[in-house]
Amino acid sequence: MTVMRYREALNAALREEMARDENVMLMGEDIGVFNGAFKVTAGLLEEFGEKRVRDTPISENTIVGMGVGAAMTGLRPVVELMTINFSLLAMDQIVNHAATIRYMFGGQVKVPLVVRMPQGAGHQLGPTHSHSWEALYLHVPGLLVAVPTTAADAKGLLKSAIRDDNPVVFIEHEYLYGQRGEVPDDDDFTVRFGVAAIRREGSDVTVVGISRMALTAARAAKTLSEEHGVEAEVIDPRTLRPLDLDTILASVRKTNRCVIVEEGWPHGGVGANLAALIQEQAFDDLDAPVQRVTGADVPMPYSKALEQLAFPHEPQIVDAVLATFGDRVRP
């Protein structure tokens, strides 16, 4: 194992896959000479040259459109969008083209495209840079959606995404880029899509955390154990399409309670989807309604104090968990 930052793990995945397959290429704004807005592509231009590491104009629809065309003709492009908010400008190319072409062509054409995009609050970048929109892409059939939390998952899932013949929306959290973690040294290490990770085992309540919220949920679980005697099982789905619902349901059937934590907005969010699935398929196992902890239903504030209030922290998760016990557990 090697300890590295999340951004370094992504960089290693890109480097290894480019060395493994000459059809893998990168495109995006400032990814070459500038090494990427978050330095994920550092050193790759020097190593692989301008033909395979392409700095592009500021035009997201053009970047993704070029990626779709390149993927259809046999390449494996990895497109970087500077933030998930900017992906709105390429929504036509992602949703109407990348996600549907294989179906419309009767399987005769593949679109092995990866669209990398960072999201999330905490850096005072305001509402046009900081939202969490997993739910937008979760909604679209034909897309795979990854939300890696750890450095190991960032590397393993990105390598799997590049090798997949389907278009992948690969969502990274800006806060996580500097976080360190152990990563296997194996150059062929991958993480399979559709397999959730149990970050902490517990018997009293299931807490499902999306993206960075898996880490926040793990810290809340520690507080619940030490201060309230509640043992929470923390599940990180890692991918939302495909979703490992079996692992989540098995945990709920064991604990009989569930709290879902996400940074995105509450209406039509990932948590709303998961809550519906859990209550449809494990209703008789629940001793309390599924609780959801979400970001505030507002555009992301620029003010640091207001921004911190706009996304979940440990106390909100603790309160939601305790609410599932009613009067049985006192703060």
pLDDT tens per residue across span 23-52: 999 999 999 999 999 999 999 999 999 999
**Is the full-model pTM beyond 0.85?**
yes
Backbone angles phi, psi at 170, to 5 degrees: -110, 105
> Percent of the chain scored above 90 by pLDDT?
94
Lowest average pLDDT, out of 6-15, 58-67, 120-129, goes to: 120-129
Residue 60 appears among annotated catalytic residues: yes
172 pLDDT above the threshold of 60: yes
302 pLDDT above the threshold of 70: yes
pLDDT at 122: 86
pLDDT at 328: 65
197-326: CATH topology is Rossmann fold (3.40.50)
Q: Is 297 exposed, middle or buried (0-12, 13-18, 19+ CB in 10 A)?
A: exposed
Residue among 187, 190, 194 nearest 156 (CA): 190
- Amino acid identity at 275: A
Which of 60, 134, 263, 307 does the annotation list as catalytic?
60
pLDDT at 124: 87
Q: Do domains 2-183 and 197-326 have the same CATH topology?
A: yes
Which of 129, 131, 233, 307 does the annotation list as catalytic?
129
Q: Which CATH class is domain 2-183?
A: alpha beta
Name all contacts of 271-274 with Cβ < 8 Å and 24+ positions apart: 271/210, 273/135, 273/138, 274/208, 274/248
Backbone angles phi, psi at 284, to 5 degrees: -70, -15
Residue among 209, 239, 273, 270 nearest 145 (CA): 239
236-251: per-residue pLDDT in tens? 999 999 999 999 999 9
Q: Is 88 exposed, middle or buried (0-12, 13-18, 19+ CB in 10 A)?
A: middle
**Domain ranges across the chain:** 2-183, 197-326
215 touches 149 (CB < 8 A): yes
Q: For residues 166 and 111, give the distance between their C-alpha atoms in angstroms, rounded to a whole number.
A: 6
| Mean pLDDT confidence for 220-241 | 97
127 pLDDT above the threshold of 70: yes
pLDDT at 229: 94
